[in-house]
Amino acid sequence: MEPALRELWAESRDLLGLPSSSLDAAAAAAVPRVDLPPTPLAFLRDHVSPGRPLLVSAAATRHWPAVSLWPTASYLTDALRSTAVSLHLTPDGRADALASHPRRPGGPGPSRCFASAHVRRVDFPTAVRLIRASDPAAGLVAYAQQQDDCLRGEYAAVAGDVDAHVPWASEALGCLPEAVNLWIGNAHSVTSFHKDHYDNIYVVVSGEKHFLLLPPTEHHRLYVREYPAARYVAAEQDSEGEHQLRLKLEMEEPERIVPWSSVDPCPASPEEMAVQASSFPLYFDGPAPMRCTVRAGEMLYLPSMWFHHVSQSPGSNGLTIAVNYWYDMQFDIKYAYFNFLRSLDIDGCSSGKAGALEGDLEEKKD
């Protein structure tokens, strides 16, 4: 099976114009970049249908008031002074990511779990203060990233500063966005490898976003396994206020299982990298993911079902601000092929529950 899989990876990379050589930063492919937005027909034909990412220059958003207004420190805090927003809090900036299982060390069961953020409703100026002060060294990282159409919900007061939809994408896809989200964080927030069932137009307004991208065909390289879900909760809160919040991880009750990629492509230490590289050779010994930095004003088309890992750099205002448009994907033959691929059991890379947890244990026993 594995030779057939490697041939699939190589052929799909070849057809996508990606290098198939082994992991090497120099070999990482750039996302195709255009100065002007494509026509709807060219976008559909050359990007949506074949599932090929596209980066559009800042010319696409030059007319957005947000581009000049939002990076200014006071504009958003003024406009949203009395607005309550959902702030996602973690000790390390890794929401919706794998974390050490709180029952550990030494106990039976899986060593890792899938950890969701602690979500607090706070007024927007407090949110910005907490985001700017975010630091894993202090045990608290805040990220405004409610993915529930929040730009048109919590942030409706400033939604008019950006286009309500992306006209060439809406015409190509034949629909309006299902959700428009706002993302505000600093350099310490990282989004782990995952995929979405949406065609995504991701626009950076302040700072930069750094994407690692893998096509859906490379599913098995991400060692998607099933992890028990956990959630950060407030452990205590001292009298000085929320920025002194301490978080602890609690397993969800009743148990909930989440299939998630086991791979961390950017481990914090050489020791962690050594563990990752030996545990997940298909990722670390294989060809490099596509790399793409999206700068302020630029738009990334991220095709549905592509795996993406996202880190970010703040602008001079200390914030990374982005807006994304999720369009309903077309569930077509590509989706059926992907599900077939995913159902195939490759040694250690399947997503079966029992095998996954055993595999996870195995990995830690080594």
Binding residues (CB under 8 A) for a copy of itself: these are 1, 4-5, 7-8, 11-12, 15-16, 40-42, 44-46, 48-52, 171-174, 215-217, 330-341, 343-344
Q: Closest separation between CB of residue 1 and a copy of itself, Å?
A: 8
Q: Closest separation between CB of residue 347 and a copy of itself, Å?
A: 15
- Under a CB-based contact definition with an 8 Å cutoff, are residues 357 and 259 in contact? no
- Under a CB-based contact definition with an 8 Å cutoff, are residues 118 and 275 in contact? no
Q: Measured from the CB atom, is 271 or 340 closer to a copy of itself?
A: 340
Q: Measured from the CB atom, is 147 or 330 closer to a copy of itself?
A: 330
Q: Closest separation between CB of residue 256 and a copy of itself, Å?
A: 25
Q: Measured from the CB atom, is 71 or 215 closer to a copy of itself?
A: 215
Residues belonging to the chain: 366
Q: Closest separation between CB of residue 20 and a copy of itself, Å?
A: 12
Q: Measured from the CB atom, is 46 or 252 closer to a copy of itself?
A: 46
Q: Measured from the CB atom, is 53 or 314 closer to a copy of itself?
A: 53
DSSP state of 2: H
Q: Closest separation between CB of residue 29 and a copy of itself, Å?
A: 15
| DSSP-assigned letters across all residues of 104-159 | -SS-SS-SEEEEEPEEEEEEHHHHHHHHHT-BGGGTBEEEB--TTTGGGTTTHHHH
- Under a CB-based contact definition with an 8 Å cutoff, are residues 20 and 14 in contact? yes
Structure token pair of residue 143: 């990220």
Choose among 209, 203, 210: nearest CA to 57.
Answer: 203
Structure token pair of residue 251: 């397993």
Q: Closest separation between CB of residue 298 and a copy of itself, Å?
A: 24
**Which residue pairs from 36-44 have beta carbons closer than 8 angstroms and sit at least 24 positions apart in sequence?**
36/60, 37/168, 37/299, 38/168, 39/168, 40/168, 40/169, 40/171, 40/172, 41/172, 43/168, 43/169, 43/172, 43/301, 44/172, 44/173
Structure token pair of residue 69: 């207004």
- The one-letter amino acid code at 245 reads L
Q: Closest separation between CB of residue 169 and a copy of itself, Å?
A: 12
C-alpha to C-alpha distance for 60 and 331, rounded to whole angstroms: 28
- Calculate the CA dihedral of residues 310, 316, 318, 320 and round it to 10 degrees: -30
Q: Measured from the CB atom, is 22 or 343 closer to a copy of itself?
A: 343
Q: Closest separation between CB of residue 259 and a copy of itself, Å?
A: 17
Q: Measured from the CB atom, is 47 or 120 closer to a copy of itself?
A: 47
Q: Measured from the CB atom, is 52 or 101 closer to a copy of itself?
A: 52
Structure token pair of residue 121: 């409703």
Structure token pair of residue 109: 């069961």
